[in-house]
């Protein structure tokens, strides 16, 4: 252990915090922080709720004060950690939080940063119990060992460096995220412009297709079988915008496949998600499956036009907007075969369609390179945070500041 430092259990450096019962003052308002009130990315409180005491949930029992640190013991690896600001002084948080308030020799902000370290989060991962609702107890949090300098000014110095460093990292990360967003929007904007600005005739996708059909709708799970004997069976979760996601691919018996003639797929079929969060996502079957079948997917089999061109149109904002606008059903929009067949496609000559695909693919390749660069920058900045935290709690922050390339 570094000279001037010591290690104690968290429970040994904390004072006991208060509990309250807001229902005893039924007509008084209070601000309630439930477990979802802490943003796990920014570590800030948001969407706190103002309630009357008579409406307080049974979990609203822990009093918080300015500079307290709260840590959600429910799903602890989500790292919902926040420092209580003056705005929430003497308000109430859920019993799903552990409230940390340091004794007079511990700087509370030092505790806040400790809860962000890899070491602390790894301990929480080991201690959490419960598969569907993992949690740790307050006692388990108290058992974690905290390394700290005995000098309060040294704790404050470390916090000051971390504050400055994290502010610079967050600024650099925001810049990289904006650049990543701009790169993606550049391609989307160009894609939309291609289809909106062309002076071409339009044709119905149904007229361009040999057939527009829907995959099997009904019970399928009893026909699932092992991949070594079965036929690949695509479901809506396998269809993503621009590609097939084959993770979790199911297989059906050959006999069931043969009975589903109308939902048998071929290479170059264009697939559309009918319903759900990914409704309207589409892609082309590019893989060489010997046999292939599907459920709850609408598909078009072209007889005219370039399949990649039509696929790019269906992925564009203008194409998706048109398709989603033709959804049917009040409670939950559904894309049916009529919606897909009625989709109107700008239709230049075939050689021009192919040229457009080449241009779009070239631009997409360039923007993807930029996206990789910016995503790596974001990932590197997150790793820098972890590295700086590790040094801080090992007593290795000797300089007055940490340089961050913004």
Give residue-wise pLDDT tens across range 111-160. 999 999 999 999 999 999 998 889 999 999 999 999 999 999 999 999 99
Asked whether 265 and 287 are in contact (CB, 8 A), the reply is no
Give residue-wise pLDDT tens across range 283-324. 999 998 999 999 999 999 999 999 999 999 999 988 999 998
- Give CA 321 to chain center in angstroms: 23
Asked whether 76 and 130 are in contact (CB, 8 A), the reply is no
Q: Virtual CA dihedral for 122, 75, 246, 213, nearest 10 degrees? A: -170
Residue 403 pLDDT grade (very low, low, confident, very high; cuts 50, 70, 90) = low
Q: Which CATH code for domain 204-315+329-342?
A: 3.90.220.20
Short-list 24, 26, 280, 12, CA closest to 144: 12
Residue 405 pLDDT grade (very low, low, confident, very high; cuts 50, 70, 90) = low
Handedness of CA 47, 383, 111, 146 (dihedral sign): positive
Asked whether 136 and 77 are in contact (CB, 8 A), the reply is no
Residues linked to residue 29 through DSSP beta bridges, in sequence order: 52
Write the CA distances from 211 to 110, 309, 399, integer angstroms: 65, 18, 70
Asked whether 275 and 252 are in contact (CB, 8 A), the reply is no
Give residue-wise pLDDT tens across range 166-198. 999 999 999 999 998 898 888 888 888 888 877
Q: Which CATH code for domain 152-200+348-406?
A: 1.10.287
Q: Which CATH code for domain 5-150?
A: 3.90.220.20
Asked whether 14 and 102 are in contact (CB, 8 A), the reply is yes
Short-list 107, 77, 99, 119, CA closest to 393: 119
DSSP 264: B
- Spatial distance between the Cα atoms of 49 and 37, rounded to a whole number of angstroms: 9
> Do the domains at 152-200+348-406 and 204-315+329-342 have one common CATH topology?
no
Residue 401 pLDDT grade (very low, low, confident, very high; cuts 50, 70, 90) = low
Give residue-wise pLDDT tens across range 193-240. 888 877 899 999 999 999 999 999 888 989 999 999 999 999 999 999
- Spatial distance between the Cα atoms of 231 and 249, rounded to a whole number of angstroms: 10
Tokens describing residue 114: 């400790």
Query: What's residue 331's pLDDT?
Result: 59
Would the pLDDT of 402 be above 70? Answer: no
Helices (H), 128-151: 138-142
- Spatial distance between the Cα atoms of 21 and 99, rounded to a whole number of angstroms: 16
Tallying the residues shown for the chain, one arrives at 406
Other C-beta atoms closer than 10 Å to the C-beta of 12 total: 12
The answer for 67, left when phi > 0, alpha when psi is -120 to 50, beta otherwise, is left
- Spatial distance between the Cα atoms of 307 and 186, rounded to a whole number of angstroms: 23
What's the whole-number mean pLDDT along residues 50-62?
Answer: 96
Write the CA distances from 30 to 54, 92, 201, integer angstroms: 11, 7, 63
pTM, entire model = 0.70
Residues linked to residue 282 through DSSP beta bridges, in sequence order: 272
- What is the number of H-type helices and E-type strands within the chain? 11, 20
Contacts 24+ apart (CB under 8 A), 166-175: 166/385, 168/402, 168/404, 168/406, 169/381, 169/384, 169/385, 169/404, 171/406, 172/377, 172/381, 172/404, 172/405, 172/406, 173/378, 173/381, 173/382, 175/406
DSSP 116: T
- Spatial distance between the Cα atoms of 116 and 390, rounded to a whole number of angstroms: 10
Neighbouring residues of 78: CB distance < 8 A, sequence distance ≥ 6: 40, 72
Share of the chain above pLDDT 70, in %: 97
Query: Domain extents for the chain?
Result: 5-150, 152-200+348-406, 204-315+329-342
Write the CA distances from 260 to 216, 275, 367, integer angstroms: 7, 21, 41
């Amino acid at each position: 252990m570094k000279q001037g430092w010591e290690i104690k259990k968290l429970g040994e450096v904390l004072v006991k915090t208060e509990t309250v019962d807001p229902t005893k003052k039924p007509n008084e308002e209070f601000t309630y922080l439930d477990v979802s009130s802490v943003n796990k990315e920014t570590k800030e409180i948001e969407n706190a709720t103002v309630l009357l005491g008579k409406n307080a949930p049974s979990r609203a029992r822990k009093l918080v004060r300015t500079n307290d640190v709260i840590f959600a013991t429910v799903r602890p690896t989500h790292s919902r950690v926040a420092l209580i600001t003056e705005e929430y002084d003497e308000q109430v948080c859920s019993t799903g939080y552990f409230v940390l308030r340091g004794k007079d020799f511990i700087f509370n902000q030092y505790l806040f940063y400790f809860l962000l370290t890899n070491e602390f989060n790894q301990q929480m991962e080991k201690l959490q119990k419960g598969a569907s609702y993992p949690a740790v107890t307050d006692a388990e949090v108290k058992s974690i060992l905290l390394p700290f300098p005995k000098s309060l000014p040294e704790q404050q110095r470390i916090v000051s460096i971390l504050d400055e460093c994290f502010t610079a990292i967050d600024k650099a990360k925001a810049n990289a995220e904006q650049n990543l967003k701009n790169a993606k929007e550049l391609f989307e904007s160009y894609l939309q412009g291609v289809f909106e600005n062309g002076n071409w005739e339009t044709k119905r996708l149904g007229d361009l297709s040999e057939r527009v059909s829907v995959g099997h709708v009904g019970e399928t799970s009893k026909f699932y079988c092992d991949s070594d004997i079965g036929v690949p069976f695509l479901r809506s979760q396998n269809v993503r915008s621009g590609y097939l996601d084959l993770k979790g691919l199911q297989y059906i018996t050959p006999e069931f496949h043969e009975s589903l003639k109308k939902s048998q797929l071929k290479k170059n079929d264009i697939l559309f998600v009918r319903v759900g969060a990914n409704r309207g996502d589409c892609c082309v079957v590019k893989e060489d499956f010997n046999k292939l079948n599907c459920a709850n997917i609408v598909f078009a089999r072209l007889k005219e036009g370039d399949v990649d061109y039509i696929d790019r149109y269906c992925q564009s904002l203008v194409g998706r907007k048109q398709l989603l606008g033709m959804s049917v059903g009040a409670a939950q929009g559904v894309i049916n075969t009529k919606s897909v067949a009625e989709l109107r496609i700008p239709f230049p000559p075939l050689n021009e369609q192919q040229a457009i695909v080449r241009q779009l693919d070239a631009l997409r390749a360039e923007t993807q390179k930029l996206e990789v660069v910016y995503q790596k920058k974001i990932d590197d900045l997150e790793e820098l945070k972890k590295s700086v935290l590790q040094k801080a709690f090992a007593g290795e922050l000797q300089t007055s500041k940490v340089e961050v390339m913004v």
